[in-house]
Each structure stands twice: as structure tokens, then as C-alpha cells.
Amino acid sequence: MVQARRFCLIAADHPIVSAIQENHEKLQMGDISMMPEGLVKIGTDLYKTILPMVKQQVESQIKVRDFTSAKLSIEPADAASWSDVRTALITEQKTALRAELEMELGACTDEAAIADMRSDFSRRERAIEHSVDTKQCSFSAAIEVEYNFLAR
């Protein structure tokens, strides 16, 4: 808006320009003159009068989506659930530990040493579970939502 001159410059493809052109007889106006830059010059009073009606009409014709409660979830690509992913990771890491325990148990004959080995094995198993449960993983994504096509 140019306040001192009491006119507005509006893009020629703006809905208000179409509304003025379609209703120029009722508005008692001549043709709208287009400026070389693709802009249309209209009076500030006309703009303020017609804009609320154009907004109302455009809003009534456009399906509106409320994204205030939109949610995004991430599902594993190679498993049915995150629980299955956890189980697979823990199983993978415990397999080597169990093989090591079996070798140690096979070589040991002392019952006290065997009990210590089993206790150590249980502690190491819990450490594996804890490391899997507390491991921070990151991902990156790009989400593009176009909701205001009139702004183009």
C-alpha cells in the first residue's frame, strides 16, 4: 500500500484482481490497467472494501486442513515392531557372549568358578541389554507440507 497516494499495487494473478474484473460493472469501474511489472494499481478504499469478501469466498472454496494436532511416527523398515528390533539386537550381541561362556564352562571343573562365571555372564548380559536400551540413535528427514498455494 502506498498510504500517501491512496493506492495499492497487487499481483495481477491475485484473486482480488479477478473479483474486480468480474464485477467491474457493479463497482462502476472501467478496465483495470496492468503495469509492466505484472502489477495492478487499485485504490486503497476499493482494496479494503473488496478484500474481506474475496478472502471469505476463497476460504469457502478451499478445503482446509488443521495441522495443529498432526503426528509423525517412525516404524522400523526391517521388523514388525521396535520390540522385535530390540530383541534382534540383543540376541545378536549375546550370541558371542554365550559361545564364550560355553567354552569357559567346558574347560572348567571347579563348581565355585562355574558359579562365578555364570554370575559374570548374567552381569554382562544385563550390560548388553542396558546398552541396547539406552543407545541413542539419530535420523534425519525432510518433510515438506504445502498449505498455502496462494502464496506462489
Residue 2: per-residue pLDDT: 55
Grid cell 493506492 — which residue?
7
> Which residue is it, cell 545378536?
92
In the DSSP assignment, the letter for residue 79 is S
What is the residue type of 128? I
137 with 106: CB under 8 angstroms? Answer: no
CA 53 – CA 59 distance, rounded (Å) = 10
Q: What contacts 24+ positions apart, CB below 8 Å, involve 3-6?
A: 3/44, 6/43, 6/44, 6/45
pLDDT of residue 149: 57
pLDDT value of position 90: 94
- Has this prediction a pTM greater than 0.85? no
pLDDT tens figures, 63-99: 767 778 888 888 888 889 999 999 999 999 999 899 9
